[in-house]
Amino acid sequence: MEKTAPIVELSHVEVNFKKKAGLFKKADYVNALHDINLSIYPGEVVVLVGESGSGKTTMANVIAGIVQPTSGKVFFKGTQVPKMNQEQREEYRSRIQMVQQDSYASLNPMRRMIKTLGDPLVIKKYSDKKNVEEKVSHFLNTVELTPPENFLQKYPHQLSGGQRQRMLIARAISMNPELLLADEPVSMIDVSLRVSVLNLLAILNQRDNIAITYITHDLATARYVGQNGRIAVMYLGQIVETGNLQEVLSNPQHPYLRALLAAVPIPDPRVARQPRETNIKTMEEIEEGIPHGCRFHNRCPYCKEICKEKKPVMEKHGFSMAACHRIAELPPFSLYQASRKEDNHEG
Ligand SMILES: Nc1ncnc2c1ncn2[C@@H]1O[C@H](COP(=O)(O)OP(=O)(O)OP(=O)(O)O)[C@@H](O)[C@H]1O
Ligand code: SF4
Ligand SMILES: [Mg+2]
């Protein structure tokens, strides 16, 4: 894709939160994001993948301006966020919209859909009061809640999970966004409805050129949504590998991503019968706060002394940018999987 100026750019972003009781024992803060560099361009799909607590939602909140970085810079269309004037600030708030995981919590239970969707349109002067029903109907049609008149007077509890999620998407696109941040948008809805919501995101991307940042812990939906886009794999607040999604997932470099892929069930009975569990330690086994050196070192099967002492930096490896001292020494991924199989067999 030919690159124009990014919609949003994060440069060396750091976010520290005050510690939640019992999560990390030594540190009195959680370093939720560390040295994040990421640009999102018009019309592109970027998938953020990582397990729970890796910082995905914090990243989305920083991009949307909901969380201020502890240090580092965020730019919207080339202007640093704190230096924007009122007009730029309003544009920033409208052009970047979030679709959250929990549609029930995100919609006011006391408000009918015509109010939920209509009021922001009137407030933002995208519609006058007279035409608001027509405008709202247009957005309901766009998200395939049809016929719209069946939905205008409904309360959130009268909708299914999939319909509520579409309602959130309708509310987001009614603000004429250039970037939609979809944070686990299908994880709380019925499996049978997931694909249609993900397809809706793809339509908004391809037909309306809305950039999508899709956030998930699930590699299967990441692959589905990001087939023409980029992936950024997050681990404990850092991006550890990034690049074109198809290429990165076919040729993963970082041991964490390799372990995630080795653990993903594949719908082929011959492959599914092979042992595919990872030998990385679980997140709960990290009790001592954020590790020095490589943050993954106390879970990594390839850890050596250097990993405990020196932080790896992002470098080009194959089709990816990845942060690991030992990538050059690791076997190709197919051999890696075979050797993992032997390890499991022997163990
Ligand atoms: N407001 C907050 N106050 C304190 N700690 C927070 C806050 N928000 C997030 N954290 C911590 O920051 C880290 C990253 O959290 P975040 O919600 O961004 O992760 P995530 O990747 O979205 O996880 P999940 O997949 O569970 O949604 C976690 O350790 C979390 O407990
Ligand atoms: S730097 Fe070392 S510990 Fe970190 S992922 Fe690479 S091999 Fe594993
Ligand atoms: Mg989250």
Q: What is the pLDDT of residues 215-243, one digit of tens each?
A: 999 999 999 999 999 999 999 999 999 99
Sequence letter at residue 32 = A
Among left, alpha and beta (phi > 0; psi -120 to 50; other), residue 76 is beta
Ligand 2 pocket member 201 (CB < 6 A) = no
Domain count for the chain, please give it: 2
For residue 310, the enclosing domain spans 253-346
Confirm whether 241 is domain-assigned: no
Confirm whether 326 is domain-assigned: yes
185 and 107, same domain (yes or no)? yes
Q: How far apart are CA 162 and CA 179, in angstroms?
A: 21
185 and 64, same domain (yes or no)? yes
Confirm whether 245 is domain-assigned: no
Question: How is residue 22 annotated by DSSP?
Answer: T
Residues 169/143, Cβ–Cβ less than 8 Å: yes
Ligand 2 pocket member 236 (CB < 6 A) = no
Confirm whether 210 is domain-assigned: yes
Locus of tokens 């940042």: 213
Taking the CA of residue 256 as reference, the ligand 2 atom at the shortest distance is 5
Instruction: Output the pLDDT for position 102.
Output: 82
Would you say residue 83 has pLDDT above 80?
yes
> Of all protein residues, whose CA lies closest to atom 3 belonging to ligand 2?
297
Confirm whether 242 is domain-assigned: no
List of residues 6+ apart from 339 with CB closer than 8 A: 331
Instruction: Output the pLDDT for position 291.
Output: 85
Q: How far apart are CA 173 and CA 319, in angstroms?
A: 33
Q: What is the pLDDT of residues 171-189, one digit of tens each?
A: 999 999 999 999 999 888 8
> 216-225, 281-290, 292-301: which has the minimum mean pLDDT?
281-290
Q: Which residues surround ligand 3, an ion (CB under 5 A)?
A: 56-57
Pocket test for ligand 1, best of 19, 25, 54, 187 (most atoms within 8 A of CB): 54
Among all ligands shown, which has an atom nearest to the Cα of 302? Answer: 2
271 and 215, same domain (yes or no)? no
Locus of tokens 């030992």: 326
278 and 341, same domain (yes or no)? yes
65 and 157, same domain (yes or no)? yes
257 and 193, same domain (yes or no)? no
pLDDT band of 273, cuts 50, 70, 90: very low
> Of all protein residues, whose CA lies closest to atom 5 belonging to ligand 1?
17
Number of other residues whose CB lies within 10 A of the CB of residue 14: 16
Ligand 2 pocket member 212 (CB < 6 A) = no
188 and 318, same domain (yes or no)? no
Taking the CA of residue 303 as reference, the ligand 2 atom at the shortest distance is 3
296 and 224, same domain (yes or no)? no
Q: What is the CATH number of the domain that holds 91?
A: 3.40.50.300
Residues 294/324, Cβ–Cβ less than 8 Å: yes
291 and 223, same domain (yes or no)? no
Q: What is the pLDDT of residues 239-263, one digit of tens each?
A: 999 999 999 999 999 999 999 998 7
Q: How far apart are CA 31 and CA 22, in angstroms?
A: 15
Ligand 2 pocket member 76 (CB < 6 A) = no
Q: What is the mean pLDDT of the chain?
A: 87
Peptide bond into 177 cis (omega under 30): no
230 and 258, same domain (yes or no)? no
